[in-house]
Structure 1
């Protein structure tokens, strides 16, 4: 059964401007450990690809927070929610710490999709109960 649905659209230019002002501190606030490694690698090769990656992750976490009904308040934190790539290439949600405990205790599972174009990144999340 569906527990919640969340969607978000993000202006990549806004993310780029914030990154230019705050630097890697901004990325470190939003991205979990695995995501930060991917971001740094992509940004080093092609900065625009790194910023688009950061924007898709920002959007996905916003959508996830809406789907679970918490917004950005505990136990939901930016870094405890990671969007990782499954071996098939499909994006998956990986949770850590108190957020993972809360999510598991509720018996939830999440499905996420992300996309980006030149100026926008978007994400859609469906959270279901495992009943």
Structure 2
């Protein structure tokens, strides 16, 4: 059963301008520990690839916060939610700390997709409740 749906559209030019104003502090505020490593590696190779990566993660976290109905309020924080790619390239949401405990206690599972073009990054998140195992059903 669907618990929530969230979507977000991010203007990559705004992310670029924010990075220019605030430097890497902005990326360090938004990205979790594993994401920041990917961001730095991509940005080192091609500046625009790193910025697009940051924009897609920003967008996905906004969409996730909408899907769980919390917005950017505790326990939802930027760094407690990471959007990482599996070896296949499929993005997945990894949660940490209090947010992970909150999410797990509700028996939720999340699905995410991200995309970007020259000026925009977009994401879509569906959060659903996990079906009860047969032995837990009434």
Residue aligning to 1:48: 48
Is 2:119 aligned against 1:119? Answer: yes
**Mapped partners of 1:82, 1:61: distance in 2:** 8
Q: Deviations over 1:74-127 (max 9, x none)?
A: 000000000011122100000000000000000000000000000000000000
**Cα distance in 1, alignment partners of residues 32 and 129 from structure 2:** 25
Using the size of structure 2 for normalisation, the TM-score is: 0.94
Q: Structure 1 regions of 5+ residues with no counterpart?
A: none
Find the aligned partners of 1:100 and 1:125 in 2 and give their Cα distance: 16
- Give the 5 Å matches for 1:60-99: 60-99=60-99
Structure 2 counterparts to residues 3-18 of structure 1, below 5 A: 3-18=3-18
Aligned length: 131
In the alignment, which residue of structure 2 is the partner of 1:58? Answer: 58
Q: What root-mean-square deviation, in Å, do the aligned CA atoms of Structure 1 and Structure 2 show?
A: 0.4
Give me the whole-angstrom Cα distance separating, in 2, the residues matched to 1:21 and 1:34.
24
Q: Secondary structure at the match of 1:111?
A: strand
Name the larger-Rg structure: 2
Deviation of 1:4 after TM superposition, in Å, equals 0.1
